[in-house]
Structure 1
Amino acid sequence: MTIEPWADAQLSEDIPRLAQGGESETVEFKRELPKQVRDLAKEIAAFASSSGGRLLLGVADDGSIPGVENAHDPAVRDDLGRRIVGVCQIIDPPVRPQIGWTSANGLGVLVITVEKGSEPLYYVDSRAYIRHGTVYRPATASEVRAALTASMPGEAAEGPKNHPELSALADVLANVRRWSDTDSEMRSLKPWIEDWSADAEVYASKLRDLSVSDWAIESHVNERLEATAEKLDEVAQFRHYLGEGENFNDVCNSAGFAAAELMRDLVDPIEVSDETQRKVLEAIAKLARKLTQMWDRANKEIFDGRVEKAQQETYGIGQQIATWTYFRLSVVPESTLADLRRIGLSLLQLVSMRVYMDGGASLQRIVDDAQTLVKELNANVESFLQFDR
């Protein structure tokens, strides 16, 4: 196999194997550059949001290698490289892939290598994209929220490290309480009503797993865990009919009350270490800085889809902040925790504010409400950082 001097020798050796292996979650073939550059941007964004991967330009879907036309011409290679860099600027935040050329018997293939990004998701035209099997697609609302929540520094809120069962229990109970305290009107709207029902089913399953553990049986709390799981079953299995909102709120509140009692009796008596509490406060301070930047930018680019994207990201951040406040953090006053909880719940509810064709007035209302909440959050951060000194 003859390798041209402008080609990467290692990549050139890898290409036949990659082509024969077919497309996968981390490998994508393109016979030629897509006519719509945004399609390529979405492919790259999906790799960055997922596990990373390689896009091979000059390889057909069947694995044959027709190569990039005129790849031997330096001007063609330079032009394609510049176009790829330009495409990556469409992605938010921008992606910086590695671009390399391979050659085999005079046929050139452009290899775009995308690492998994440091951000949870990457967007094109305000939509997040992920890799699913051998294709890219827009992330669903629940996938966006899951990715954003998973990216939060959650180790701070895992509960007592030397009590793994209590740690797992604390996580479930805090999330149930946060859902229970979410505005009842929002909780009864799509898609959040489906989210809550699905989450309730997961939490019920986790409580049942804990109820049969040696710890639960020896502590004589297995029946209480099972009883709370049954209340969550009622939420998960509730059938929503017109005019049944109050009944749904009743079952949600009942589950939340049971979770609060369990947390009071089982979790709160366990002291959370000062180090863990500091991690929580530092994480909240970091999220406050992120929210400040996010909404300042949304305010400056209000008609560019920034507001809708910020709403989605703020939903996950608000969830995390609110959930943390259900843990007993003795280094700050209870009144500060209550205020942080209110702010966290209000932040996550921003996602339910609708955008109308009103010349940007509804967009501005969302931004104004968000910035007010962020200012309140920053004020609380300043206060509890003083307590921590």
Structure 2
Amino acid sequence: MTGRSAVFGSEDRRAGTSVVAEALRIAGRDRRPVFGSAVLAGVVALFAGGGIVAGAFAVSWGLFLEAGRAAETAIADEDSYVAYADQWDDLVKVAFCVYPLLLLVAVVLIAWLLTAQAVTVAYARERAAAGTPAGVLTLHALWRRSRPHLGAAVRVQLLTLVCALVPGLAGLLVLVAIQSEMVPGVVWPTYHDPATAQFILVGRILPVVIWALGFALLTRFSLATAVRVTDNCSATAAMRRSWALTRAARLRTTGICLLGTVAVAVAFTVLRWFGVFVAHWAGLVMLAVTGGNVWVTGVLVLVVPVAVALVAVPFVLAPVGVLLGCLRERLDGGVGGVRVLSGVSVG
């Protein structure tokens, strides 16, 4: 039994390597639609996400100015004060309105990127099956081919998000329960009381296991958008098909999804570091506009690096979408399995 597992494991590794190599070839040969879709996503993220954040700052402007005046008065009177003491509740309300809007923008853009890359992979397979020279998939043709699938792709991402929230919130609930002293025998460590074995088991290992199970669940639905593009089915049918396709290739699918996740995480970290330099100049401008109000400036400096990273990360997410599209084709019929998209000609 161990020998068979080793054989299947080595086959999965070889197959995974070939899928990555194919994805790199397609991303390099069809870089115009791959990275053109990323440019479009970045532009939409910049204007839509930036507009939402700018609107939040505009709504909260009076609260930030009031916090600055209260702090200056307390300092002048040599009194102690707490930052945003009287404005915190209203700022939280604004944040609870902004976060869902930003999440919706992210869901739509991810749906667009994964759909566009699935269309690009399917187009490359069509050209290879026909034995014709690789043509250029223009952005206009990419949009025409992707547009019929975007609604279902958004529904796929929303359903996947719901599936991800369950284990995500469950892991956080464990931590909250421990911190609220609701778990018998498990105490949150302090400076004087180091972590006990019970806390390490329940407060560290258990949440990680729950989140790992959630990641495994996401990998099973990771091919749903590509399935929708090739099979032209509903969102729920695409998710069921993705679950079925990945059943016999769990190790390969998890490894490829983990590779893509690491690539996006590393890129996000690097881009966020570059965003610090942008935040420095944005902070100086904000200080000049507000007359030295460090309360609104401090929030802006925290937001800008993350915003810069999110605007640029589609350039990494797009090749990951190509990788998922190649994996879907490989699991559903091998190299020769080619599905023809709905009859939209390439312009």
* Structure-2-length-normalised TM-score: 0.30
Query: Which structure features the higher share of strand residues?
Result: 1
- Greater fraction of residues in helix: 2
TM-score of the two chains, using structure 1 as the length reference: 0.27
Larger-gyration structure (1/2): 1
Q: Which has the higher contact order (CA 8 A, sep 6+)?
A: 2
